[in-house]
């Protein structure tokens, strides 16, 4: 009889769900909309109702299910499965793990969404089951996951790995967390757009000026596309961003000494246009010995990393 792991990745606009074999094959995957704010308490029942429907379609019994692994944004208390705070969803001290367990009757394991993405990449993606790994996700914000001895480092109250909230410039731009100059204000898609929109004032002949005049905004993709054409403004923006990101990762590597450093999230789709200047910046700041032992790669699993990591969280806890 084939047994299955259930992976859940809760995002601000959609919830990704997957039925995954113990060997890591995605048997089925799908998405449902995320209810937020005053409807956010319905999320656990929405998840289980959707899973139950799929199990029925595939004629999979509850006896074939090993457990549920879920990732959620914000600060997660992994030991209890509680979400201490998830601002985008409107959760505070929300007992996600308990509610999913009561609905399903299955073992449930909860982690931060960036952490399960790191687990997923380490299991079936670019990580290749490294014992020491750092993953940085560059999207609307900047997330991170740190793996030591093959396991996620969560910390005493769920804030370990919050790479996006490392202070890079204490007098810098204000972050959503309330502090100033966090890495997230620089290296996120939002931060890259803001920096580029400020920088074009100095470069009247830049491709980015033309794009901004047409759309009244710039995206991170616009910046990296222009960088590939050697546009002077885009080159300055990318060098500024990767310099700060490389410094942050070098500092993390001094403490963790990872085998692999993975870059994921939507911004990572820039590929070598991001990776090459980032490696150069990292090498400038990194302790030479830690630099020698680490490899830099783009994450491979894309949007599947979360559900795969959720499944692996179950597998790891059931071992």
Domain with residue 64: its CATH number is 3.30.420.40
In terms of domains, do 206 and 279 share one? yes
Place of tokens 């792991």: 5
67 and 28, same structural domain? yes
Domain co-membership, 146 together with 71: no
Instruction: Tell whether 149 and 261 lie within a shared domain.
Output: yes
Per-residue pLDDT of the chain (319 residues; tens, 9 = 90+): 899 999 999 988 899 999 999 999 999 999 999 998 889 999 999 999 999 999 999 999 999 999 999 999 888 998 899 999 887 888 999 999 999 999 999 999 999 999 999 999 999 999 999 999 999 999 888 999 999 999 999 888 888 999 999 999 999 999 988 899 999 999 999 999 999 999 999 998 999 999 999 999 999 999 999 999 999 999 999 999 999 999 999 999 999 999 999 999 999 999 999 999 999 999 999 999 888 888 999 999 999 999 999 999 999 998 7
Report the Cα 197 to chain-centroid distance in Å.
25
Question: Rounded to the nearest 10 degrees, what angle do helices 272-285 and 232-256 cross at?
Answer: 50
Range of the domain at 203: 129-299
Round to whole Å and give the CA distance between 9 and 283: 33
pTM above 0.75, yes or no: yes
Element (H, E) at 97: helix 96-104
In terms of domains, do 81 and 181 share one?
A: no
* Residue 146 shares a structural domain with residue 267: yes
Read off the tokens for 193. 């757009």
Domain count, the chain: 2
Q: Which helix (H) or strand (E) holds 232?
A: helix 232-256
Same domain for 111 and 63: yes
């Amino acid at each position: 009889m084939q047994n299955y792991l259930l992976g859940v990745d809760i995002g601000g606009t959609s919830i990704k769900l997957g039925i995954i074999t113990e060997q890591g094959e995605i048997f089925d995957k799908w998405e449902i909309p995320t209810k937020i704010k005053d409807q956010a308490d319905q999320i656990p029942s929405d998840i289980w109702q959707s899973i139950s429907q799929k199990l029925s379609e595939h004629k999979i019994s509850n006896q074939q299910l090993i457990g549920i692994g879920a990732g959620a944004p914000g600060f997660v208390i992994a030991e209890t499965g509680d979400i201490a705070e998830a601002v985008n969803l409107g959760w505070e001290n929300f007992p996600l793990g308990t509610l999913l367990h009561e609905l399903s009757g299955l073992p449930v394991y909860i982690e931060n969404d960036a952490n399960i993405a790191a687990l997923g990449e380490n299991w079936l993606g670019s990580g290749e089951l490294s014992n020491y790994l750092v993953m940085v996700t560059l999207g609307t914000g900047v997330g991170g996951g740190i793996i030591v001895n093959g396991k996620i480092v969560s910390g005493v109250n769920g804030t370990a790995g919050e790479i996006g909230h490392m202070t890079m410039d204490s007098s810098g731009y204000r972050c959503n967390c309330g502090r100033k100059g966090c890495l997230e204000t620089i290296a996120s898609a939002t931060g890259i757009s803001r920096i580029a929109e400020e920088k074009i004032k100095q470069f009247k002949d830049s491709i980015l000026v033309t794009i901004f005049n047409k759309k009244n905004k710039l995206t991170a993709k616009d910046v990296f596309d222009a960088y590939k054409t050697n546009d002077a403004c885009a080159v300055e923006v990318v060098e500024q961003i990767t310099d700060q990101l490389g410094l942050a990762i070098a500092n993390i590597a001094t403490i963790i000494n990872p085998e692999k450093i993975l870059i994921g999230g939507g911004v990572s789709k820039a590929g070598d246009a991001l990776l090459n200047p980032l490696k150069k910046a990292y090498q400038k700041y990194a302790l030479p010995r830690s630099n020698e032992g680490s490899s830099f790669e783009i994450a491979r699993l894309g949007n599947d990393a979360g559900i795969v990591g959720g499944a692996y969280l179950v597998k790891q806890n059931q071992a």
